[in-house]
Structure 1
Amino acid sequence: MLESSEHMQKTKAALWEFLQGLGKTFMLPVALLAFCGIMLGIGSSLSSEAVTDGLPFLKAEGFHLVFTWMANTGLVAFTFLPVLFAMAIPLGLAREDKGVAAFSGFVGFAAMNLAVNFYLTARGVDLEDEKAIEHYGIADVLGVQSIDTGLLGAVAVGIVVSLLHQRFRTQRMPDALAFFGGLRFVPIISALVLSVLGLLIPLVWPAFNGWITAVGRGIGHTGVFGPFFFGMGEVLLRPIGLHHILVAMFRFTDVGGSGAVCGDNVSGALNMFYAHLDCAGAPNAAVTDATHFLSQGKMAAYLGGLPGAALAMYHCANRRMRPEIKALLVSGVVACVVGGITEPLEFLFLFVAPWLYAVHAVLVGLGFLTAAVLGVFIGNTDGNVIDWLVFGVLQGSSTKWYLVPVIAAVWFAVYYFLFRWAIRRFDLRTPGRDQEPEQDAGDEEGPAPDAEKAPARELVAGKYDAVAILDAIGGAANIRSLDNCITRLRMTVEDAELVDGARLKKLGAVGVIKLDGHTVQVVIGPQVQSVKDAIATMIPVG
């Protein structure tokens, strides 16, 4: 019985680690997608007739060429999104020889689609027949007439290649075939395995795609409540880091919507929005409905609500502590408003009042609902002020961008008064309320150990003491694996009890999450990559 319990715990820890790692791998293509979206948004808007008619100087050939080039560059991520995910997943999950893993991801993706093409051709399927196209979902994939499996197919390829890379990276071959052994064997076995799997796709994809479409239609039948549940669900999943998977489903699969855009059938809310930007004309109903799941819904909380919560926390702090927390709150607001990164603010109250975080999730959902009801049409991924300017203001009044400041102002007031009331009513230990500054400058105890050590070492990003952070984690011996996403360190450790959360917070961490006895996340903020790299240099390889 004891062995069974230990086995279940290990399995659970391994599953957590895998899902955490999978969600993290999405960030590389999504970051590129966000940048390309801005390029596409600026280029398409400033080269459109609606804008150039009002600003005639933009019709000059030089301006037109530059903005058209920007729009075309922005299509890079949109056009090749599946293969980017197929490469990014093995790249992110591999712990060694990441380049080989990414290369094998491309090989596997290409092999799978070539195998699909072989099957369809061998069966005599007319690749130009409309009924066949609709039944199988036939589309051009990397120049090959195949079945468009979208993000799901790319994720499957990435996971399979990751497993093959882990298993065969050090594969030994007989002397006669030694040239094909080791790392060279990974793309070879990836091509073989994915080619076989590609033969199965035409057999199962039509039914599977039908199920996905049914889920998407089910959400669509909920009307504006679909975006409400999506927005709330994203926030509730954020503490455990699985929100990336939910978001990716809506952005890139039929769950987020599908329909004809400029003559092409497109699936996924973000895909549909970018496709609309690339062609002239007003959006159809399918595009408008899909955009309800994008950044316009976040703006109420990101541009208004969370800054209001930050001001409430500042006003509720002890007066002598306000100078100490001002920089923390200001940096959190800047990350939220400009970068669309909310965790530095959310994790200030998540652990002291989880119920307040649940209320916050409902308010975010209501922000999605409100934007949908009022017909706001602003897409992209981040919900920050840049999205508002590029995909709202620059696209003209038809986006109803002018409603966003009004909605944000309402959310600012709601969050401010709600948080101020809750903090004082329940004496919540938000920043500046959990401790008082030292009363006596001549305290005999002297400075804290970490403060005493920090000046003697080079600090990461001018703030974080990587040596002390590693010590608070339990030392190098306590770390099994170390990685990071946008704002947090993600670790598998020998013993989570050795991780000193209180000390990590004193060292600048926003929060510490212990998912189980071995899986830990430390919320650092936008400088997490630098912190992770510094800690990695102190961990013995192998």
Structure 2
Amino acid sequence: MQKTKSALWEFLQGLGKTFMLPVALLAFCGIMLGIGSSLSSEAVTDNLTFLQGEGFHLVFTWMAGTGLVAFKFLPVLFAIAIPLGLAREDKGVAAFSGFVGFAAMNLAVNFYLTAKGVDLEDEKAIAHYGIADVIGIQSIDTGLLGAVAVGIVVSVLHQRFRTQRMPDALAFFGGLRFVPIISTLVLSLLGLLIPLVWPTFNGWITDIGRAIGHAGAFGPFFFGMGEVLLRPIGLHHILVAMFRFTDVGGSGAVCGDQVSGALNLFYAQLNCSGAPGESVTNATHFLSQGKMAVYLGGLPGAALAMYHCANKKMRPEIKALLISGVVACVVGGITEPLEFLFLFIAPWLYLIHAVLVGLGFLTAAILGVFIGNTDGNVIDWLVFGVLQGTTTKWYLIPVIAAVWFAAYYFLFRWAIVRFDLKTPGREEPAEEEAPQESATDSADSADSAPRELIAGKYDAVAILDAIGGAGNIQTLDNCITRLRMTVADAEQVDEARLKKLGAVGVIKLDAHNVQVIIGPQVQSVKDAIAPMVKVG
């Protein structure tokens, strides 16, 4: 039972991590689309006449067109990224098989509909089955859910058959070559089943979306709070993806095309000259403007409170930590470096933080702020708010952020003092005979040779030793800010030492699943550790 639970945790964490590759591309493409579409629109060029020059127009329309790449091919990107991320070896073959399986599934759907005599141009049939153009194939638009299913199936097939042996006469088709072959067969059979179940399933999803829509502003409230509560265990990506890319987040027509998913609706509207409809504005309530109250105001206020509550002698030591956390939050939309400073010290304070994030979503929805995108940082505010004109109500964000800044500052300062919370700078000083270990301390005292530090801060060898050494790590991966590991014994992971070596926090999900929160440099840390433990 324990092994099954551990394997499930590892799988769900790995699945959530695989979302990050296409989502990172999506965030970049969203910025390209936002800048290009806004600076080439008549509303902006009429006021800034120098932008009407042919050179400017060509550059910005090119940017807008380039930004569409992630939006137009989003499902197939996930179908490729999931096997790529979940595979431990031969990742290129897994990714290739993901595309092959996705195409095979949709071709099989097209075969079924055509053989059954379904009129692919009939509006009733389109609505019933959800027919759409998928990578040039008239198929059923299963969106992100179909892509995730393809990715998971291909990952299982890759793990099972990548070393498949065949008889001598068929040996050419064995080994890695067999993975895309079996993926084609299995996903083609799966594609034949989709038209039988998808209309019912699609109806369920639509009902969920309608239920959330009927909840009014409380739909975004529960979404925002849920995302924060799931973040410590790393499963928030799944919730977020559901709202961004499926009917749960909303659906409607944009410039004559039926679009599903909050983020899909927002990006489609960016490329549409018409005014946004109600379906678009309602869906956007689940996007980044809801985060901005906390990301641009609340958490910086909490950081200032932690700074003022620290011992005066300790303030110079924690200033860099807090400033880097604020910069990551405000500029990068990465909140964990600040959140994990108080999550483990006062979980109830983190719960209040989750409620305040939900209230930020609720407030933005009630006030009709229409900014969108994914990150909730100052770049989103500028590109998708300020540059899009006053219809986005971007000018309300600084006011809301200021209110949240004050609320977080006074709440955190009161809580830290009232309950004597050991936030940074308030911990008991180390005893003289046990000085704090620096990031340059060696994992082996016999090895005194200097080592190159990652970002001038992280010693990969010492971090590995604090995790329990190479022998303790069974699997190793990372997401945006944390190392994700399966270990032989979680008790061997030295949390205190890891924090001294620069980690923000350590999460032990069970006896074998551990996450070490590093921050934005986590990819470099993982890349440095991986060769030493010879895992993915």
Q: What is the TM-score of this pair, normalised by structure 2?
A: 0.98
Equivalent residue letter for 1:213: T
For residue 58 of structure 1, the aligned residue among 41, 47, 51 is: 51
What is the distance in 1 between the residues matched to 2:535 and 2:151? 25
Q: How does 1:418-457 map to 2 (within 5 A)?
A: 418-436=411-429, 448=437, 451-453=440-442, 456-457=450-451
- Kindly indicate whether the alpha-carbon contact (under 8 Å) linking 2:439 and 2:458 is maintained by their aligned counterparts in 1: no
Tell me the secondary structure at the aligned position of residue 522 of structure 1: strand
Deviations 1:269-308 (A, max 9, x none): 0000000000102111100000000000000000000000
| Residue 18 (structure 2) pairs with residue 22 (structure 1) | no
What is the distance in 2 between the residues matched to 1:529 and 1:219? 36
Tell me the secondary structure at the aligned position of residue 370 of structure 2: coil
For residue 479 of structure 1, the aligned residue among 450, 463, 473 is: 473
For residue 530 of structure 2, the aligned residue among 504, 514, 536 is: 536
Residue in 1 aligned with 2:37?
44
| Residue 126 (structure 2) pairs with residue 133 (structure 1) | yes
Q: Quote the sequence identity (%).
A: 86
- Kindly indicate whether the alpha-carbon contact (under 8 Å) linking 1:94 and 1:166 is maintained by their aligned counterparts in 2: yes
1:436: Cα distance to partner?
Answer: 2.9
| Residue 86 (structure 2) pairs with residue 93 (structure 1) | yes
For residue 404 of structure 1, the aligned residue among 374, 378, 397 is: 397
Residue in 2 aligned with 1:316?
309
Tell me the secondary structure at the aligned position of residue 533 of structure 2: coil
Q: How does 1:226-237 map to 2 (within 5 A)?
A: 226-237=219-230
What is the distance in 2 between the residues matched to 1:33 and 1:450? 35
| Residue 386 (structure 2) pairs with residue 380 (structure 1) | no
Deviations 1:451-496 (A, max 9, x none): 5438821111110011111011000000000000000000000010
Tell me the secondary structure at the aligned position of residue 184 of structure 1: helix
Residue in 1 aligned with 2:111?
118
- Kindly indicate whether the alpha-carbon contact (under 8 Å) linking 2:438 and 2:501 is maintained by their aligned counterparts in 1: no
| Residue 341 (structure 2) pairs with residue 348 (structure 1) | yes
Tell me the secondary structure at the aligned position of residue 96 of structure 1: coil
What is the distance in 2 between the residues matched to 1:516 and 1:52? 57
Tell me the secondary structure at the aligned position of residue 264 of structure 2: helix
Between Structure 1 and Structure 2, how many residues are aligned?
A: 531
Q: How does 1:95-174 map to 2 (within 5 A)?
A: 95-174=88-167
Q: What is the TM-score of this pair, normalised by structure 1?
A: 0.97
Residue in 2 aligned with 1:489?
483
Gaps of 5+ in 1: 1-7
1:540: Cα distance to partner?
Answer: 3.5
For residue 504 of structure 1, the aligned residue among 491, 498, 511 is: 498
- Kindly indicate whether the alpha-carbon contact (under 8 Å) linking 2:30 and 2:373 is maintained by their aligned counterparts in 1: yes
What is the distance in 2 between the residues matched to 1:510 and 1:313? 15
Deviations 1:201-240 (A, max 9, x none): 0000000000000000000000000000000000000000
What is the distance in 1 between the residues matched to 2:198 and 2:369? 35
1:450: Cα distance to partner?
Answer: 5.8
Tell me the secondary structure at the aligned position of residue 534 of structure 2: coil
Residue in 1 aligned with 2:271?
278
- Kindly indicate whether the alpha-carbon contact (under 8 Å) linking 1:295 and 1:383 is maintained by their aligned counterparts in 2: yes
What is the distance in 1 between the residues matched to 2:375 and 2:503? 23
1:137: Cα distance to partner?
Answer: 0.4
Q: How does 1:145-294 map to 2 (within 5 A)?
A: 145-294=138-287
1:449: Cα distance to partner?
Answer: 7.4
Gaps of 5+ in 2: 443-447
Q: CA RMSD in A?
A: 1.2
| Residue 387 (structure 2) pairs with residue 394 (structure 1) | yes
Equivalent residue letter for 2:483: L
What is the distance in 1 between the residues matched to 2:120 and 2:21? 34
What is the distance in 2 between the residues matched to 1:465 and 1:302? 30
Tell me the secondary structure at the aligned position of residue 464 of structure 1: coil
What is the distance in 2 between the residues matched to 1:57 and 1:424? 55
Residue in 1 aligned with 2:407?
414
For residue 454 of structure 2, the aligned residue among 451, 460, 463 is: 460
- Kindly indicate whether the alpha-carbon contact (under 8 Å) linking 2:476 and 2:530 is maintained by their aligned counterparts in 1: yes
Residue in 2 aligned with 1:5?
none
Tell me the secondary structure at the aligned position of residue 314 of structure 2: helix
Equivalent residue letter for 2:489: D
Residue in 2 aligned with 1:525?
519
Equivalent residue letter for 1:54: N
Residue in 1 aligned with 2:62?
69
- Kindly indicate whether the alpha-carbon contact (under 8 Å) linking 1:321 and 1:437 is maintained by their aligned counterparts in 2: no
What is the distance in 2 between the residues matched to 1:361 and 1:444? 40
- Kindly indicate whether the alpha-carbon contact (under 8 Å) linking 2:208 and 2:248 is maintained by their aligned counterparts in 1: yes
Deviations 1:127-176 (A, max 9, x none): 01111101000000011100000000000000000000000000011111
Instruction: Indicate how the Cα distance of structure 1 residues 105 and 535 shifts in structure 2: closer, same or farther if over 3 A, else same.
Output: same
Residue in 2 aligned with 1:334?
327
What is the distance in 2 between the residues matched to 1:142 and 1:508? 45
What is the distance in 2 between the residues matched to 1:20 and 1:445? 36
Deviations 1:426-457 (A, max 9, x none): 0001001113377xxxx676774765438821
For residue 299 of structure 2, the aligned residue among 284, 300, 306 is: 306
- Kindly indicate whether the alpha-carbon contact (under 8 Å) linking 2:437 and 2:497 is maintained by their aligned counterparts in 1: no
Residue in 2 aligned with 1:4?
none
What is the distance in 1 between the residues matched to 2:535 and 2:352? 44
What is the distance in 1 between the residues matched to 2:433 and 2:474? 40
Deviations 1:219-266 (A, max 9, x none): 000000000000000000000000000000000000000011110110
- Kindly indicate whether the alpha-carbon contact (under 8 Å) linking 1:320 and 1:437 is maintained by their aligned counterparts in 2: no
